[in-house]
Chain A
Amino acid sequence: MSLKIMMRELKEMKDGIGNISKRGGESKLWRSRTRSHVVPDQPQECAEQSPWSNLPPELLLDIIHRVEESETAWPARAAVVFCAAVCRSWREITKEIVKTPEQCGRLTFPISLKQPGPRESPIQCYIRRDRATSTYLLFYGLVPSEGEGDKLLLAARKVRRATCTDFVISLAADDFARASYTYVGKQRSNFLGTKFTVYDSQPPCDSMIPLTTHRRFHSKQVSPRLPACNYSIGSITYELNVLRTRGPRRMHCVLHSIPVSAIQEGGTAPTPLALPQFFDEQLSPLPSSKGKQPLMDTSSLSPAVTPLFSPGSGEPLTLKNKAPRWHEQLQCWCLNFKGRVTVASVKNFQLVAAVEPEHNVSPEDQEKVILQFGKIGKDIFTMDYQYPLSAFQAFAICLSSFDTKPACE
């Protein structure tokens, strides 16, 4: 480099302007370093820092914001997650930018799976069943795409026990260990296969749910790394069709972690900010989330005192399946799945809110299909969910449809 440029840069050093490299020669060294992709093993000095590591925050925000806006679908959206893993400043800014599924309709970080979906239109997924391994995989996307490149969201494995059946739900398709960091929750059926309980490995934000402690675990000391409790967040019951004909069964789903107020005007549903097994994962508080409580508020959780539902908005939300109509000409029961379900099956259902007049829920909101599930092919089912359900809750509810016994069919 020319003498003139070196003199200039030395002068600028004095004036303290900008973020340029301090020595002309240094800049060249850094350039060749990046091009050869060899990270040298040297002690880090200020002079060796690349100018990009000191970007003004507003510029970095602009860059990452553009990446987030343009990469909305997977697998390209992985770029946003990578930005959050580069370094601390990048991580902070990325987390500021990324909104919840309710706000933007997109899934980004694993915590997105525990957050309510969008209010006006559903997030569309599909489930692939593997009978050989009793595994159920939830993918993001309308239908399976060619090339098997779809984004896996959650995986479940059916485990038959003496008196019940469990579906263990995990972030990874090859790891269903209870102690693993990928464990998210489970769904357990009763012996008859008529009642199912959904358990979450983390307590809901608003501690207003019945706490059931499994006998193997204790609730007081919960290591942030190892979820020691299963928290019952919902239950699903199936009832025989009264006439005991081949009519559709009735489903009832009580969501302990979501209050009725969530679907009232101005209501919000609990939105967790981080997964418990990653205590450093705290996102910046969202204005829409109701209780900004600490992630693991173990002091308020004791088996003896389990806060039950407070009157009014504290009542849990109940969902019921939309009653199909009998189609005289086709001689079958029909629901309008809007093209998302194409094979008739007793497993197919649509869930809407079950409310009483005193709940003050608008007719439009009462009509909204919060969860829709149905068959489109051999071992392929679609699952569309929206607010106030999260992907995890929706998946757990759908799994119950796979395990109902003849008692309710």
Chain B
Amino acid sequence: MLLSKNSALESKDNEIFEVEESIAIQSELIKTMTTMVNSKAYVNERNQMVPEARCRKQANYHVEQNNKIVDEELSDWESKFFEVDMDDLHELFMAANYLEIESLLNGVTKRVGDFIKACKNVEVIRQTFGINNDFAAQQEEEIRKLNSWNHI
């Protein structure tokens, strides 16, 4: 069994996480930074990270768990993991995007898509995501008319 090396990653708010290297490099960003700084030694590499502590922790958590659980349990675990409110989901989204963690990004995007699909109409989408209607009055009216075609 290979000795897994640990990377120490420091987040912007100065919290330090120790993660297995194999997990840390699931983030494309960390992978690139690590190779750029020191091509040989991965152990105890210190990298300055930008995101908030909470995002970082959750990103790590996800990646870690992802590697441990078998497939059947994974989807259950994933649905629970993503059962967060819109604020947290957004933070996860930004963290996954910044750190370039593809699996996490896929999970969040899917979750957001599921939210959209569950919305019964446009107004519910706006309320769920807190988005303002910025159409001009005339365009808004035309869209409303066109959308009446979509009601079955």
Contacts and interface: CB of A to CB of B under 8 A. Distances in A.
Contacts of A50: 86, 129-131
B18 interface: no
Interface string A151-186: 110000000000000000001100000000110000
B90 A51 contact: yes
Given A31-B86, A85-B122, A281-B142, A63 B132 contact: no
Contacts of B147: 81-82, 85
B23 interface: no
A255 B110 CA distance: 44
Contacts of B94: 18-19
B85 A86 contact: no
B68 interface: no
Residue among B109, B110, B126, B147 with the highest chain A CB neighbour number at 10 A: B126
Nearest to A148: B152
Interface stretch (B29-37, B57-65, B70-78, B133-141): B133-141
A222 B143 CA distance: 21
B91 A149 contact: no
Contacts of A37: 127
Contact of A78 (B86, B132, B150): B150
Interface string A60-102: 0011101100110011101101111111101100000000000
A31 B127 CA distance: 11
A56 interface: yes
Interface residues of B, number: 46
A113 B109 CA distance: 31
Contact of A44 (B126, B128, B132, B135): B132
A70 B145 contact: no
A63 B113 CA distance: 6
B83 interface: no
Chain B interface mostly? helix
A191 interface: no
Given A8-B52, A67-B113, A83 B125 contact: yes
B127 A39 contact: yes
A339 B27 CA distance: 53
B91 A49 contact: no
A164 to B, nearest CB: 28
Interface string A192-211: 00000000000000000000
Nearest to B110: A66
A50 B13 CA distance: 23
Interface string A6-26: 001000100001111100000
B21 to A, nearest CB: 26
Contacts of A82: 116, 119, 121-122, 125, 147
A153 to B, nearest CB: 9
Contact of A151 (B87, B97, B152): B152
Contact of B126 (A51, A87, A110, A182): A87
Contact of A53 (B97, B119, B132): B132
A299 interface: no
B131 A63 contact: no
Interface string A377-408: 00000000000000000000000000000000
Contacts of B109: 59, 62-63, 66
12 contacts: A12-B12, A27-B87, A34-B86, A34-B130, A37-B127, A39-B127, A53-B130, A59-B93, A59-B109, A63-B116, A87-B126, A278-B146
